[in-house]
Structure 1
Amino acid sequence: MRVLLKETLDCTPDAAWRAIHSPAVFREVSSPVMTVESLEADGFPTSWEPGEHPVTMRGLGLVPLGMQVIRLSETTLRQAGTGTAAGNGAGTVRILRDTGRGVSGSMAAVTHWDHRMAIAADPDHPGKTLYRDQLIFRAGHATLAVWPGFWVFWQWRMAQIKRLAPTWRFDLGVDVETPSDTGTGTGTDNGTDGVVSVTP
């Protein structure tokens, strides 16, 4: 099944790209619905690099959800027929993809995980970011049962991302890795605006 969201973020694409590589930002946009702890020897890095990153997760900070391996890769695409008005690189789409796996607990019930976050300049709003977030997952016979939980969590994540984005000022040197005190996509536009699409 799939959850697909699209929003304009009030920050530059470079700032958004840096933010989605930040474990601190990841934890903040997930909290308090889900808390995440690193299982890497030195804990969370300042910025995630491509590769595998084991974590443990808890629902509401209390309910153990199990261990998950986050497996990151990066892709840069050029959209044909897209202008580059004002020199803002509007035709470039950068994608951070997580094809990790659940290792233990309820996370192990998810048999297929493909999460893609696509960053591009918003052609209609200079200086802002067009952000697309797609999750495709399967959990065997439990897929339909777990989908509502993922749907609700993805709405929460997007609301948090949109709220925090104005603080992600890459060009002003603001450190997006410091959280506040409160806490198969192709990278092409499919015409959905702030809509969730569900497909089996």
Structure 2
Amino acid sequence: MKISTRATLSCSIDSAWEALHNPAIFRAVSAPFTVFADQPGNPLPRRFRPDTDYTVSVRAGGVVPLGNQTIHLVDDVADWTSRVVTDTGHGTSGALGLLRDWHHRMSLVARPDGGTDFSDTLSVRAGLLTPLLWLALRVMWSWRGFRLRLVTRTLDPSATAAWNARYAGKGAMWSGKVNPVLEDVFSAHSPGVAIDAGAGEGGDALWLAQRGWSVTALEASSVGIYRGVHEAAQHSTDSGDPLDIHWRVWDLEEPWPVASGGAGAVSLQFIHTDAQARKKIWEHAIDAVSPGGTLLIVGHDPQDGLAGIPRPPADMCFTEEQLREAVPGDWSRVSTRVVARTQNIGGEDVAVHDIVLEATR
């Protein structure tokens, strides 16, 4: 017997992936048809670990005992856009022990609009009871899909929805080219581990990876990352050389999913926020730089805005002095400068200026 449901989730594939490994969401999407309880002295963790057995007791409607069930997740990640979780667990006692050949497969595919396509398939045999179970499981699986759509609506950071809205309807937000200051600075560096924070559609991450860097690309917009992933895949197809880029949908104000002091290059290009958010982001960036590593921060010169050039509000920009003050005093080198360049605005080439920090830990 096979039962399948499909749903479109209003969250990034990163958020959906975490949801499938979250025991609290596992319980929420199954209730009230089945209610899962921890085993005495062996509570479920905050996140299911792959290839690990977890045992729960199950009650129908929270009342009728069905026996115990083992949960055992196996992860299969093809790339950022396509992932599968298979639950190879099975019933171990009571009515659940009558179920044979249990195979539960949950697949996720990233969508270009930033959402995620979800497919949920159960294959199971229960001998003569199989026809009787079909209707009950069919209703339960439809309910799971409905509940998961509701639960996942609120999983993405607020910044993800805001940036996805900005990307909507645009073929490309950015040029796809590497930022010139980043190219100038890191062309002289030997490749290692790099973090591209606020990666956009991946132009800088691709440039770094093409030169041998192992890159973690952090970006709030799942639409932006989707485009970057496909650009990287196209490069790999054309060149036969896969790029080492780890993509993550991430709110940069939250602690970064990287090792402290583990990156030889950390880049923040044109990330303009309020002062409170900026302080958090800069602190995470500083913490991520390895001894001898380089921190590069580039932003729009607030003086451009005063000259009538379209720029973020003045309180979202920063000065050379603010950059210098943010870097710890024990770093070996801290350099700031203003860099002039030309930008096409409204069909006219205009002289603009960027504030640059280059610091070595």
User: Shorter chain as normaliser: what TM range?
Assistant: 0.7 to 0.9
Supply the distance in 1 between the matched residues of 2:155 and 2:40 (Cα, whole angstroms): 26
- Kept in 2: contact 1:40–1:53 (CA 8 A): no
SS at match of 1:11: coil
- Kept in 2: contact 1:122–1:128 (CA 8 A): yes
Supply the distance in 2 between the matched residues of 1:54 and 1:113 (Cα, whole angstroms): 15
- Kept in 2: contact 1:40–1:54 (CA 8 A): no
Write out aligned runs for 1:139-178 (5 A): 139-169=126-156, 171-172=250-251
Which residue matches 1:56? Answer: 57
Which residue matches 1:118? Answer: 107
- Deviations, residues 90-109 of structure 1 (Å, cap 9, x unaligned): xx311110111111111011
2:130 pairs with 1:130? no
Runs of 4 or more, structure 1, over 4 Å off, are: none
CA RMSD of aligned residues (A): 1.5
SS at match of 2:128: coil
Supply the distance in 1 between the matched residues of 2:99 and 2:40 (Cα, whole angstroms): 22
Unaligned runs of 5+ in 1: 79-88, 174-200
Supply the distance in 2 between the matched residues of 1:131 and 1:160 (Cα, whole angstroms): 12
The amino acid that maps onto 1:58 is R
2:60 pairs with 1:71? no
Instruction: Give the CA deviation at 1:76.
Output: 1.5
Instruction: Give the CA deviation at 1:41.
Output: 3.7
Supply the distance in 1 between the matched residues of 2:126 and 2:155 (Cα, whole angstroms): 34
Q: Pick the aligned partner of 1:107 from 96, 106, 109.
A: 96
Instruction: Give the CA deviation at 1:142.
Output: 1.2
Unaligned runs of 5+ in 2: 158-249, 255-361
Supply the distance in 1 between the matched residues of 2:128 and 2:60 (Cα, whole angstroms): 22
- Kept in 2: contact 1:117–1:134 (CA 8 A): yes
- Deviations, residues 5-60 of structure 1 (Å, cap 9, x unaligned): 11111000000000110000000111111110122744010000011111100011
The amino acid that maps onto 1:43 is P
Supply the distance in 2 between the matched residues of 1:115 and 1:40 (Cα, whole angstroms): 26
Which residue matches 1:193? Answer: none
Which residue matches 1:34? Answer: 34
Supply the distance in 1 between the matched residues of 2:134 and 2:72 (Cα, whole angstroms): 21
SS at match of 1:54: strand
Instruction: Give the CA deviation at 1:77.
Output: 2.5
SS at match of 2:35: strand
Which residue matches 1:47? Answer: 47
- Kept in 2: contact 1:8–1:131 (CA 8 A): yes
2:86 pairs with 1:97? yes
SS at match of 1:36: strand
More helix by share: 2
The amino acid that maps onto 2:19 is A
The amino acid that maps onto 1:137 is V
SS at match of 1:61: coil
Supply the distance in 2 between the matched residues of 1:101 and 1:40 (Cα, whole angstroms): 19
The amino acid that maps onto 1:21 is H
The amino acid that maps onto 1:113 is W
Instruction: Give the CA deviation at 1:152.
Output: 0.7
Supply the distance in 2 between the matched residues of 1:31 and 1:135 (Cα, whole angstroms): 18
Size of the aligned set, in residue pairs, is 159
Supply the distance in 1 between the matched residues of 2:97 and 2:126 (Cα, whole angstroms): 9
- How does the TM-score come out when normalised to structure 1? 0.75
